[in-house]
Amino acid sequence: MMNNDMNHQEAYRAAFAEASEELKQIFGKIEQLHLRRIRVEKAVEVLGRKIGSDQPVPVYKTQRKTHLPGLTVMTRLSVTVGKQTAK
């Protein structure tokens, strides 16, 4: 019986290590996406000034809980209205 308990503990440790590594990768991706969002927002701001847009960029925020305790994901959606040129 003791050997069986040791096998379970080893399996649990392996599963924990694998899940921890996957979570670390997910958080790394979240950080990459956050940095990318900041770059895109700055590009939209600069390009808006270049084309003479005087309208503020509307931002919509939505929050959702995840299966991870204490982690809430906030998504910001920006809608831009560009000037159309006649051809």
Domain borders along the chain are: 2-78
pTM: 0.51
Task: Please give, one letter per residue, the 3-state secondary structure of the chain.
Answer: CHHHHHHHHHHHHHHHHHHHHHHHHHHHHHHHHHHHHHHHHHHHHHHHHHCCCCCCCCEEEEEEECCCCCCEEEEEEECCCCCCCCC
Considering only 20-29, 32-41, 42-51, which range has the smallest mean pLDDT? 42-51
- More reliable by pLDDT, 63 or 83: 63
